């Protein structure tokens, strides 16, 4: 590294810093330009060899170009064209079974912490489904400075804790650990407003005094739960992904447990994340407007899901910035390839969240209930589980999901009595929420919506006449 090779890195606060801060200082040559955000011409601070590094205030190490080069050499992983595929392949080789898309999504969610808009994720599923194990595994591929792990906390702990949360993921294993009203409120404030501002009263010499506690973000949330829904005010602020409960997955997991899992070498992944954190910059999505036009406005929660999709696209482009073009201002230009990867990972989840896509597990469960009720008219959770090859707990969770969506009904209203499950509303056809890459490319290249010769899938599934009052059929 040349003397001018400095690293972009925003510190968390004036007391605690990513270890890459100190690594960057040690790697520097004779001259250092330290920018605290208020440096005027001639106000540079020099650090000489052998000087003790003082306790720093919030600062930013910036690239100071000279006649040679000021570009930090990207690590080998940054040169990969499909980093998420490489990540999933490595994780699956060390003993993790299946859940490829959940692994990739979780990784990408952690990358979004570099932006002002951070994506939040809840991993859901039955007890012993492997939710926490998946989350723990992904986090091993990031330095500890990227996240803050809690298994639970008191009502006001998040306010009084002094652990920095700026551009970090707050990890809470099992959402029951944040079930209190004040806890959910503080978390909601942190996620939505990007900070917590809390006024309390303290004892002072002259009597009670007001004290303002300000906990800055932005901060993202990663959590796990066996529940179908979290607090209703928090549920729409997260993307939910459910782990597989199928018997074949259980069999594969046991086979993996019987073998000796390899210990992963995560050092180069930590190196990648530190390099990304030093090279965070604006990311422009040229096709964002076209994408907004192509997504049918089927649910209010899309007002939160759509920005999350954009944040994931930006994160993927940031991760692959070595292969991305830049505009005249130096901003990274996201490509349709970034959208294609994100769509593959989250299209089903977004469709399920707005209840326009039916999970495969729900369709399978409804089909079994239809078979079981042909003769007797009703069935039980135990019978459904036996038919699906699931234990009662997993079967019960599937049934509760279907009942929540009104596709099944439980005629038994007394506690402690066997369930009496019958069919409910008929299953609708799935609606395409996120357009295909081909449709988006066609739309982005057109001057008018929708353009092209053939109707896009979204137009067939959910035509504008169903919601746009300016359309003739809708107006009538």
pLDDT digit string, tens, across residues 255-282: 888 876 778 889 999 999 999 999 999 9
Beta bridge partners of 170: 148, 221
Q: Tokens 């292969």 — which residue?
A: 323
pLDDT-derived band at 152 (thresholds 50, 70, 90) equals: confident
Residues 6 or more apart from 340 whose CB is under 8 A from it?
A: 437
Query: CA nearest 277: which of 195, 166, 171?
Result: 166
What pLDDT score was predicted for residue 456?
55
Query: For position 60, what pLDDT does the model report?
Result: 36
Residue 55 pLDDT exceeds 50? no
CA distances (Å), origin 19, targets 9, 270, 341, 463: 11, 11, 31, 52
> How far is residue 173 from each of residues 107, 142, 219, 312, measured CA to CA in Å?
16, 17, 16, 23
Per-residue pLDDT reduced to its tens digit, 199-211: 888 888 888 888 8
Predicted confidence (pLDDT) per residue in 346-390, tens digit: 999 999 999 999 999 999 999 999 999 987 789 999 999 999 999
Label residue 193 by pLDDT band (50, 70, 90).
confident
Burial class (CB in 10 A: 0-12, 13-18, 19+), 230: buried
Query: Is residue 87 within 8 Å of 141, Cβ to Cβ?
Result: yes
What CA–CA distance (Å, rounded) separates 424 from 421? 9
Query: For 16-20, what is the mean pLDDT?
Result: 43
Give the Cα separation of 232 and 219 in Å (integer).
Answer: 20
Compute the distance between CA of residue 403 and CA of residue 62 in angstroms, rounded to an integer.
55
More confident site: 42 or 390: 390
39-57 as b/e: b if 16+ CB within 10 A: eeeeeeeeeeeeeeeeeee
Task: State the burial class of residue 362 (Cβ atoms within 10 Å of its Cβ: 0-12, 13-18, 19+).
Answer: buried
Angle (CA) 49-53-56 rounded to 5° is 145
Instruction: Give burial (CB, 10 Å; 0-12/13-18/19+) of 311.
Output: buried
The tens digit of pLDDT for each residue in 401-449 reads 999 999 999 999 888 888 999 999 999 999 899 999 999 999 887 544 4
Class of domain 360-423: mainly alpha
Q: Which residues contact 249 (CB under 8 A, 6 or more apart)?
A: 97, 98
Is the pLDDT at 178 greater than 70? The verdict is no
Pick from 241, 242, 96, 223: nearest CA to 149 = 223
Contacts of 99 (CB under 8 A, 6+ apart): 130, 134, 243, 244
pTM score, whole prediction: 0.78
CA pair distance 229, 146, nearest whole angstrom = 27
Any idea where the domains of the chain sit in the sequence? 1-73, 118-260, 360-423
* Least confident among 11-25, 104-118, 218-232, 356-370: 11-25
Using CA atoms, how far residue 36 sits from 30, 41, 59, 164, in Å, is: 19, 13, 4, 19
Q: State the chain's mean pLDDT as an integer.
A: 81
Separation between Cα atoms, residue 135 and residue 224, nearest integer Å:
8
- Which stretch of 193-197, 221-225, 271-275, 445-449 has the lowest confidence by average pLDDT? 445-449
Angle value at C-alpha 451, between 285 and 474, nearest 5 degrees:
100
Task: Tell me which of 35 and 168 has the higher pLDDT.
Answer: 168
Q: Give the pLDDT mean for 217-245.
A: 90
- CATH code given to domain 118-260: 3.40.50.300
In tens, the pLDDT along 295-353 reads 999 999 999 999 999 999 999 999 999 999 999 999 999 999 999 999 999 999 999 99
171 neighbors 148 (Cβ within 8 angstroms) = yes
The pLDDT, as a whole number, for residue 21 is: 42
Distance CA(313)–CA(340), nearest Å, equals 9
Q: Which residue has the tokens 């001259």?
A: 31
Nearest to 310 by CA among 117, 139, 46: 117
């Amino acid at each position: 590294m040349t003397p001018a090779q400095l690293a972009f890195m925003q510190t968390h606060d004036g007391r605690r810093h990513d270890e890459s801060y100190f690594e960057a200082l040690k790697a520097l040559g004779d001259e250092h330009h330290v920018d605290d955000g208020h440096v005027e011409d001639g106000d540079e601070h020099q650090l000489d060899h052998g000087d003790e590094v003082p306790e720093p205030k919030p600062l930013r190490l910036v690239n100071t170009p000279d006649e040679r080069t000021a570009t930090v050499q990207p690590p080998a992983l940054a040169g990969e064209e499909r980093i998420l595929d490489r990540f999933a392949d490595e994780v699956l080789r060390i003993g993790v079974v299946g859940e490829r898309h959940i692994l990739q999504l979780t990784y990408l969610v952690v990358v979004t912490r570099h932006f002002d808009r951070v994506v939040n994720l809840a991993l859901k599923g039955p007890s012993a489904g492997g939710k926490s194990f998946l989350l723990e595994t992904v986090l091993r591929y990031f330095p500890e400075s990227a996240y803050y792990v809690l298994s639970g906390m008191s009502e006001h702990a998040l306010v009084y804790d002094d652990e920095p949360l700026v551009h970090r993921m707050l990890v809470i294993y099992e959402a029951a650990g944040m079930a209190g009203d004040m806890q959910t409120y503080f978390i909601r404030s942190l996620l939505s407003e990007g900070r917590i501002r809390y006024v309390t009263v303290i004892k002072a010499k002259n009597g009670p005094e007001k004290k303002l506690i300000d906990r800055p973000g932005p901060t993202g949330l990663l959590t796990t739960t066996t529940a179908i829904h979290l607090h209703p005010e928090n549920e729409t602020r997260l993307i939910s992904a459910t782990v597989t409960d199928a018997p074949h997955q259980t069999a594969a997991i046991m086979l993996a447990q019987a073998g000796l899992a390899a210990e992963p070498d995560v050092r180069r992944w930590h190196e990648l994340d530190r390099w990304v954190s030093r090279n965070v910059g604006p990311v422009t999505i040229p096709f964002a407007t076209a994408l907004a036009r192509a997504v049918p406005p089927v649910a209010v929660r899309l007002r939160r899901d759509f920005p999350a999709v954009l944040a994931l696209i930006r994160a993927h482009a940031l991760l692959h910035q070595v292969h991305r073009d830049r505009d005249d201002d130096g901003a990274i230009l996201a490509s349709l390839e970034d959208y294609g990867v994100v769509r593959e990972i989250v299209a089903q989840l977004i469709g399920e969240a707005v209840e326009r896509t039916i999970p495969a597990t729900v369709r399978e469960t409804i089909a079994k209930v239809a078979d079981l009720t042909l003769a007797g008219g009703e069935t039980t959770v135990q019978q459904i589980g036996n038919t699906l090859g699931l234990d009662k707990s997993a079967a019960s969770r599937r049934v509760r999901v279907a009942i929540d969506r009104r596709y099944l009904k439980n005629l038994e209203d007394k506690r402690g009595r066997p369930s009496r499950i019958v069919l409910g509303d008929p299953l609708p056809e799935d609606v395409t929420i996120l357009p295909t890459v081909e449709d988006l490319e066609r739309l982005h290249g057109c001057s008018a919506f929708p353009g092209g010769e053939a109707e896009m899938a979204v137009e067939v599934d959910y035509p504008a006449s169903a919601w746009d009052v300016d359309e003739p059929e809708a107006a009538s």
